[in-house]
Amino acid sequence: MDEVKRRLVTAWLEKAREDLSVVIIEENRLYAAEAYHCQQAAEKALKACLTCHDMAFPKTHDLEALLHLCRSFEPGFAAYGDHARALTPLATEYRYPGDSVSPSRELARMAMSQAEEVLGYAAKHAESRLNSG
């Protein structure tokens, strides 16, 4: 893998980890912002994997679409379809005035767990590619 691509994949993973690092599900937190960052972490992790495989991807927050592309080179991504469906709406659902009420603490916790799983799987895949070539 050339150095430019290696740096780009690493940057996607670093940004995904940054997004997830701001999430601390505690009482009286900003659950809407935390849920958003969970979606963003999963999105960036999937984009890191797509970059590893030189796959173009649309400018989208749709995790199902990104996951579909990832499954073309790694069938194991299919296990995260439910996560993608649950996390995708969090990119926009609570972001603007007049949107739905803030998500519950339980929803934010579930989003964090799902994002951690997607990031963990994607990072493991991407990092093995980085280390192999």
pLDDT on residue 51? 96
Q: What is the DSSP letter of 53?
A: T
Tokens of 83: 């996560």
pLDDT on residue 67? 97
Tokens of 114: 């799902």
> Model confidence over 42-76: pLDDT tens digits?
999 999 999 999 999 999 999 999 999 999 999 99
pLDDT on residue 25? 65
Average pLDDT of adjacent 10-residue blocks, the chain of 133 residues = 91 94 75 93 98 95 98 97 97 81 89 97 95 79
pLDDT on residue 29? 74
| Helix and strand numbers, DSSP H then E, in the chain | 5, 0
CATH class, domain 3-132, is mainly alpha
pLDDT on residue 48? 97
pLDDT on residue 27? 65
Q: What is the identity of the amino acid at 85?
A: R
